[in-house]
Amino acid sequence: MFEQVLGLPMHVLVIHAAVVFVPLLVVLAVAYAVLPRFRRRLDWAVAALVVVAPLTTWVAVQSGEALHRRQIERGFSGEILDKLAEHQRYGDALFLYTVPLAVVVALLLVATSGHARVPALPRWVVPVLGVVIVVLGVVTLVHLYLTGHSGADAAWGNTW
């Protein structure tokens, strides 16, 4: 299911969505957390990214695993498989950081929604969620970089 789109490896196509949506989630979530006056303008975009960023990351991981299996079937071995394994570890970690980031951002969206069904929360909850978002955002961006760099190294090596 995650192997090809129109004859092209799905992973090569979908990684671009993750490369766009994960940093957007981080940047807009941090802005939402630290700039309260812009929350009403950002809430819809942040809410959409809470769903889209982890989803695209998950599809990238699944399609990467399918591509990895295909490369093994085609006879790839040695150093290239080691590079692919490193890339896969970074991709898995990226997903494992993107999901908690999205959950904490969703909690912040709910906590600041002003909805009648949201109970009154202690004043420290929103700032603590903001700090967690900033920390998870930085870690997520670092893993996005490491994943992309290791993938480019596996695909291109020293050829460019």
106 and 50 Cβ atoms separated by less than 8 Å: yes
H or E element at residue 8 = strand 8-9
- The whole-number pLDDT of residue 158 equals 59
pTM of the predicted protein model: 0.89
H or E element at residue 36 = none
- What contacts 78, CB < 8 A, 6 or more positions away? none
> What is the block-wise mean pLDDT of the chain (160 residues), using blocks of 10 residues?
75 92 98 95 96 97 89 83 90 97 97 84 92 98 95 75
Give φ, ψ of 9 to 5 degrees: -60, 125
54 and 91 Cβ atoms separated by less than 8 Å: no
Domain residue spans of the chain: 4-156
CA distance 44 to 32: 11
